[in-house]
Structure 1
Amino acid sequence: MAASGRWSTDLNGGSFAWSYDIGVPPVPGDLKPGIGLSYSSASIDGRSANSNNQSSWAGDGFAMGQGFVERAYKPCADDGVENNGIKPGDLCWAYDNATISFDGHSGELMSVGTDEWRIQGDDGTKVTRVRDSARGNGDDDGEYFKAVTPDGTQYYFGYNRLPNWAAGKPETKSVYTVPVFGDDAKEPCHAATFATSWCQQGWRWNLDLVVDTKGNDITYWYKPEMNSYGRNMKAADDTPYTRGGTLERIEYGQQQSDIHSATVKPMARVSFGTAGRCLESGTVCDFAKIDTNRQYWYDTPWDRNCKAGTDCDKGRFSPTFFTTTRLDTITAQTLQADGSYKDTDRWKFDHHWGTADSDYQLLLSSVQHTGLAAATPVAVPKTTFSYTPMPNRLDKDGDGRLPFHKKRLTTIADEYGGQIDANYSAPACSWSNLPAPEDNTTRCFPVKYQPVDTQPVTNEWFNKYVVETVIATDRTGGAPDTMTKYTYLGGAAWHFDDDDGLTREKLKTWSQWRGYAHTRVEAGSNQSFVSQEDHYFLRWMDGDRSDPADKAKKRSVSVSDGEGTTLVDDEAWRGFEYRTEEYDAPGGKIIGAFAPTPENIEKWGLN
């Protein structure tokens, strides 16, 4: 039995992860895109009253990320802006923040100089920001980002007009923009009045060019989805912005010097087909009829759509971010002698609606791979997915609110006869015995929510789920079942919300999950376990706020590495596994231990 996907558990945080590789044709030079479908249960745990809860284009909990840099802005209403006593729905500049995610690198970008950045935790990647109006990417000053990894590979985000571009050539359309007001002095686009202090700024710069040290390249092309809203509370000032978008194609097997060449084309291409987020039969899902049939686009807030050139009234006075599409197919192609492209492989994605509570989830039902290179297509069996609903919100009788059920992936039956079953923990808290947020060591967490300023802040509690067991089954009968059991020892940790300059102080609390410091893994069968490993982690709890009434009060946290060294639970080592113990049998004696402490890593030169 060969597995078509891989599963894992985040031993520090307890989340379940599963991935499925999309194999693309090889090309000379070996530089090709890594494309894969990935699932994380942690993304579902994070769904609360304060989050955008529309499922991704691949299905809720699934991602197919190609890479991006993203910046967050703050509502002008939270920045003290009022017009005649009315707070506008526009976005305002907060500060120069950004996060990055690409090719195994991700995290907050930390400034180390003018337009120079490092990824939090510094993996050696150097990130620079460039402003170049010649890029024509829609950002007010042509802002884009470049990352260089330690091996010398260059990644461009928002470059738009690729090398060798000339008028009439296609653009990658990789930057998604939104109107942003610089209401304070020295902020971008600041002017004499609030009404004139705005410009289009990027909120996402998608990866659109990769170049290795040999000049081989990969290019990424996008299809943005546009909308308009009534800027500064004026319906007639309909202002365009990018509400979302999808990856349209990837091209590779080409030298950077040949981009846009009419004769030297990329040797391979991957195309992404989309369909509407409407699953009804007949013609009701025709996008041309969405104004009439929007009730069938269950998770699409089409009432927030405003056509360019029309008055954006009826409350459409703020940008709303959503998509009308879902991933339908991925098709790999290779260049032929006549200059055309031939399909070699296709993956088909089917979806269904999850309807727990009154909230709809777009859920991935199956993926099917079909080989197209031969005269007769060859389709392998589908990989199918099953889900179990779990309440995200800690429900309370009589509060008039739903428990916010969300379905989590629990069973994967793959195309080669394997099956994975993930079993999660039960809700851990009750309203009759809630912990103090600052001392919380349970698997539930507080969320402060205020729909509008005229209403009081609501204190909600939400559940966090961790994986307890994972069972692997050979449905062909050729191998025995295996089981992996996870035991989380000691209390969980929750960190006070970081001072990100975006979240209002009155909405901050201890809601950042930092997981467990000690996790035990036992493997074997459902009859008995034959192995045990214990894993120990740093969580960055040193310096965390410890008093709800006094932000200056901080906690000091340090741990022993088991080898006589005391470690400070520092920010730089968040999630770091500082000790691993291997036992001769479950509950037996330690036969091996590895302690790659931060001090030893520096001493041994392992970083």
Structure 2
Amino acid sequence: MNFTASNRCTATTCTFDTAHASDWPDVPVHLDCNAGVQCLQASPTFWSTKRLTSIDTVALVADAHQPVDTWTLAQSYPSTGDTSTPALWLDSIQHTGKAGALTDITLPKTVFTGTPMANRVDKADGRPPINKRRITQITNETGANTFVTYSAAECSPTNLPAADDTNTKRCYPSWWTRDGGTEEVKDYFHKYLVTKVEDTDTTAGTGSPSTSTVYEYPSTPNWRRDQGEFILDKHRTWGDFRGYRTVRVLSGTTNQIKSETDYYTGMAGDKLANGTDRPAEAINGVTDRADFSGRVAASRSYESETGPVVEKSTQTPWESETTASQPVVGMTDPDKPTTPGPTLAPKLARFSGSTTTVTSKLLADGSSWQHATTTRTYDPTYGLVLTEGDDGAKTTEAHCTVTQYAAPDTTNWLISYPRQTTTTTSNPCRETFDVPSVISTSRASYDRQAVGTAPKAGQANVTKTEQATKLDAKGLSIERCIEGGWGY
């Protein structure tokens, strides 16, 4: 696979220096620090002078690479409609199929259309609204259109959050420096939500009906205090968007199908402006921890747009103890050079999973529910699933799957290779079991080694499997042994 890049400039000759900065519309030329030249930029910056213009794939045929596909990307710098500099916009992607001596087949372009929307709550104070494009239409290779609708701006100069730390509006505060400016100012910036996606078939006479998906947000947005290490402590605001607790989806143009999903937002542990902890409600009896943010807590499916809930599920998340941590210290304030930067919350690494999933269905009587529970346990060292149990909704036989793993090879990091998997009828599901409860069991060996030995580095081929699915007087007996597989 080959990637082709071009310069992000609008001139024929792309000279990268401050004298030609206007030729690089969205590249911060002034932040380029060269050896031997005074540089006043005190923190890292991340940007590129290049843009991706094509992707080519090839396949090895005999002893030579032959072209297979090409995707060509076309970009432009559309005007923003204000005094802010334009940003690179992807206009289209075009796919060309190649087959050796045969004629190339080039499909129509996939075209992206955007609408400028104000990022900043414009107060007519001499600073631009910073219009940026959002995708509002995609025309694909067959001519079908996808239209995207966004929420209107909620905030205005006369309708701003009453307090930043308890903000429930679709805008947030942030400090910034305008192009050519030297002083940071605090402004409010809009948050736009996708409210509708509509797919239309433009084939005359024989096209498919349009499909519509509407998104509703019945709760209010959650904003957490910024913890970025490159933000001056005096400029920290509640601008970390943690989403909505509930999102509602209506699918279809008539007789819409309605569903809702609840999310963990990670608001527990946040601080208010007075330094106290933010009150954070538990979700499914679980603290809404920062590391749970964005995970599904519950979901509901309705009979119709106005009908009752007919299916629902809840998820209980799992996180291991901390496996790694990194202390974080904020920037030193240039106005107080002798005062160390603040100590921020450390960055923590953990394994994650879900311990309990309860799925419920409304029965025919319209009032009774059938509940099916799935439980899981995890290895605390590597986060591997040890057991997964299904209680059969208390109407069928419960199943419990126990997985044992080959000895970990921490040198080559070959960790998650099962050596034996056993299914039992144990309820509750547990790692230890009695032989009479076993339904089936199988074990595997890797790279022609003994069962329980980690695979060889660079190989990891299953070369022998054994399956036992019946009992005799001595307990389990091997009914089928398969040797071979990838390693022979």
Identify if the C-alpha distance between structure 1 residues 430 and 289 changes in structure 2 by more than 3 Å, giving closer, same or farther.
closer
**Deviation per residue, 1:219-277 (Å, 9 max, x gap):** xxxxxxxxxxxxxxxxxxxxxxxxxxxxxxxxxxxxxxxxxxxxxxxxxxx00011222
**Distance change >3 Å, CA 292–CA 515, structure 1 → 2:** closer
Give the gaps of 5 or more residues in structure 2. Answer: 319-352, 357-374, 378-384, 386-488
Pairing partner for 1:350 from 50, 71, 74:
74
Aligned pairs (5 A) from 1:283-432: 284-287=11-14, 295-302=22-29, 312=37, 321-337=46-62, 339-356=63-80, 357=82, 358-374=84-100, 375-397=102-124, 399-432=125-158
C-alpha displacement of 1:558 = 1.8
* Alpha-carbon contact 2:250-2:257 (below 8 Å) kept: yes
Distance 1:299 1:584, change over 3 A: same
Equivalents in 2 of 1:560, 1:479: separation in Å?
A: 41
Contact 2:56 2:69 (C-alpha < 8 Å) held by counterparts: yes
1:522-541 matches, cutoff 5 A: 522-525=250-253, 528-541=254-267
Residue 602 of structure 1, aligned match among 355, 359, 362? 355
Q: Per the alignment, in what secondary structure is the counterpart of residue 120 of structure 2? A: coil
Q: 1:575 aligns with which of 289, 294, 300?
A: 294
Aligned CA distance change for structure 1 residues 336 and 286 (closer, same or farther; 3 Å): farther
Q: How far apart in 1 are the matches of 2:306 and 2:72?
A: 46
> What is the SS of the residue equivalent to 2:55?
strand
In the alignment, what sits opposite 1:467?
Answer: 194
RMSD: 2.9
* SS of structure 1 residue aligned to 2:208: coil
1:330 deviation in Å? 0.5
Give the C-alpha shift of residue 433 in structure 1: 2.9
Cα deviation, 1:187-239, whole Å, max 9, x if unaligned, reads xxxxxxxxxxxxxxxxxxxxxxxxxxxxxxxxxxxxxxxxxxxxxxxxxxxxx
Return the alpha-carbon distance in structure 2 between the equivalents of residues 602 and 306 of structure 1: 50
Structure 1 Cα separation of the partners of residues 97 and 37 of structure 2: 47
CA deviation after TM superposition for structure 1 residue 319, in Å: 6.8
Structure 1 residues 313 and 544: CA distance shift in structure 2, 3 A = closer
5+ long unaligned stretches in structure 1: 1-269
How does 1:30-429 map onto structure 2 within 5 Å? 270-279=1-10, 284-287=11-14, 295-302=22-29, 312=37, 321-337=46-62, 339-356=63-80, 357=82, 358-374=84-100, 375-397=102-124, 399-429=125-155
1:545 corresponds in structure 2 to: 271
Q: Give the Å deviation of 1:508.
A: 0.6
Distance 1:419 1:351 in 2: 20
Query: What CA distance in whole angstroms lies between the structure 1 residues aligned with 2:187 and 2:123?
Result: 10
Aligned partners of 1:522 and 1:529 also within 8 Å: no
Alpha-carbon distance in 1 for matches of 2:257, 2:88: 39
CA contact (8 A) 1:469 1:484 kept: yes
Partner of 1:129 in structure 2?
none
User: C-alpha distance in 2, partners of 1:288/1:444?
Assistant: 39
The answer to whether structure 1 residue 497 and structure 2 residue 226 are counterparts is yes
Whose radius of gyration is greater, 1 or 2?
A: 2
Deviations 1:559-597 (A, max 9, x none): 454xxxx33212232112111111110021111111123
Q: Tell me the distance in 2 between the aligned counterparts of 1:471 and 1:323.
A: 34
1:529, CA displacement in angstroms?
A: 4.2
2:243 corresponds, among 510, 515, 537, to 515
Distance 1:327 1:583, change over 3 A: same
Whether contact under 8 Å (2:283, 2:297) holds in the other structure is: no
What secondary structure sits across from 2:212 in the alignment?
A: strand
- Check the 8 A contact 1:468/1:486 in 2, yes or no: yes
CA distance in 2: counterparts of 1:286 and 1:429, whole angstroms: 43
Q: 2:326: which partner in 1? A: none
TM-score, length basis structure 1: 0.49
Deviation of 1:364 (Å): 0.5
* 1:139-176 deviation line (CA, Å, top 9, x unaligned): xxxxxxxxxxxxxxxxxxxxxxxxxxxxxxxxxxxxxx
Output the CA distance in 1 between the equivalents of 2:288 and 2:42. Answer: 45
The size of the alignment, in residue pairs, is 319
Aligned-pair CA distance for 1:371? 0.9
Pair 542,352 (structure 1): closer, same or farther in 2 beyond 3 Å: same
* Matching residue of 1:195: none
Larger relative contact order, structure 1 or 2 (CA cutoff 8 Å, min sep 6): 1
Q: Distance in 2 between matches of 1:590 and 1:529?
A: 15
Question: Using a 3 Å threshold, how does the CA distance of structure 1 residues 419 and 450 change in structure 2: closer, same or farther?
Answer: closer
Task: Name 1:588's counterpart in structure 2.
Answer: 307
Mapped to 1, the partners of 2:28 and 2:230 lie a distance apart of: 24
The 8 Å contact of residues 352 and 363 in structure 1, kept in 2 or not, is answered as yes
State which of 208, 218, 222 in structure 2 corresponds to 1:479. Answer: 208
> Counterparts of 1:501 and 1:314 in 2: how far apart (Å)?
21
Q: What is the Cα deviation at residue 290 of structure 1? A: 7.6
Deviation, 1:291, is 8.3
